[in-house]
């Protein structure tokens, strides 16, 4: 029997893509809401699971893990292959899957954080906010080129790479990233966001 999975989450947060991935996989799990607006994330019991005091945090049996990207990759590797939602180990597609998910969270994500910082300062269009949008525009062109040739990130079938990359791109659009200048990426994002699993309360 597989070990119990518990997701520590807060609505509309970095935990959202993890909640959607669990729904897409149809994996039974428990949800524990951590109210990050009242400081629940700094309680000792929670810090023992994630010393950073952040959601998402996942426990698998007694073992905790954190960072949305790590959790999504673990879920995909552990539970996605048998459901046809993640490539088999050792295939060229698996290498692309790791590359694009990391691209979204690390390379593109750095620009998202830069834009977010400018917005949080109350000056979204200061030098940093504007430079972040320009950098995202260039990265979106790379994504658009891939999606001009194929319907989904790995080819002709939807995978958890679409969920992972689409979650970051979707959030960036909300911060003003020019996704609508890139028609293939824009159409793909709409298809990703229409998945039933993306509609879960998260
Ligand atoms: N890089 C982390 C970011 C996690 C993060 O910043 N979570 C926010 C919610 S979106 C949080 O828990 N904030 C609570 C706090 O900073 O006190 C990840 O992807 O998991």
CATH number at 189 reads 1.20.1050.10
Whether 139 and 165 map to the same domain: the answer is: yes
Is the pLDDT at 1 greater than 70? The verdict is no
Instruction: Please give the distance of CA 24 from its chain centroid, rounded to a whole number.
Output: 13
Whether 44 and 73 map to the same domain: the answer is: yes
Tokens (6 digits) for 167: 């979650």
Between CA 196 and CA 92, with CA 156 as vertex, the angle to 5 degrees is 115
Whether 130 and 50 map to the same domain: the answer is: no
* Residue 185 is assigned to a structural domain of this protein: yes
Range of the domain at 19: 5-80
Q: Tell me which of 57, 80, 103 is where a domain ends.
A: 80
What mean pLDDT comes out for the span 174-196? 98
Ligand 1 pocket test, candidate residues 14, 47, 72, most atoms within 8 A of CB? 14
> Mapping DSSP to helix (H, G, I), strand (E, B) and coil, where does residue 96 land?
helix
Other beta carbons within 10 angstroms of residue 70's beta carbon come to 13
Q: Tell me which of 80, 104, 128 is where a domain ends.
A: 80
Whether 104 and 178 map to the same domain: the answer is: yes
Tokens (6 digits) for 111: 């620009």
What mean pLDDT comes out for the span 45-63? 98
What's this model's pTM, rounded to 2 decimal places? Answer: 0.97
Query: For a pLDDT cut of 70, what percent of the chain falls above it?
Result: 100
Tally of domains within the chain: 2
Tokens (6 digits) for 31: 């949800």
* Residue 87 is assigned to a structural domain of this protein: no
Residue 201's pLDDT band (cuts 50, 70, 90): confident
Which atom of ligand 1 sits closest to the CA of residue 56? 20
């Amino acid at each position: 029997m597989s070990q119990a999975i518990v997701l520590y989450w807060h609505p509309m947060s970095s935990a959202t893509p993890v909640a959607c991935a669990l729904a897409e996989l149809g994996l039974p799990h428990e949800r524990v809401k951590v109210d990050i607006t009242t400081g629940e994330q700094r309680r000792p019991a929670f810090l023992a699971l994630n010393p950073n005091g952040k959601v998402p945090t996942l426990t698998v049996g007694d073992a905790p893990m954190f960072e949305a990207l790590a959790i999504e990759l673990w879920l995909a590797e552990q539970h996605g292959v048998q459901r046809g939602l993640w490539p088999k180990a050792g295939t060229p597609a698996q290498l692309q899957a790791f590359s694009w998910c990391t691209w979204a969270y690390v390379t593109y994500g750095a620009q998202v954080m830069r834009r977010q910082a400018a917005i949080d300062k109350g000056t979204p269009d200061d030098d940093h906010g504007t430079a972040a949008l320009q950098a995202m525009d260039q990265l979106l062109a790379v994504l658009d080129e891939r999606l001009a040739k194929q319907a989904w990130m790995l080819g002709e079938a939807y995978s958890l790479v679409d969920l992972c990359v689409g979650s970051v791109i979707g959030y960036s659009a909300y911060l003003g990233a020019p996704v609508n200048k890139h028609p293939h990426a824009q159409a793909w994002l709409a298809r990703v966001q229409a998945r039933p699993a993306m509609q879960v309360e998260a």
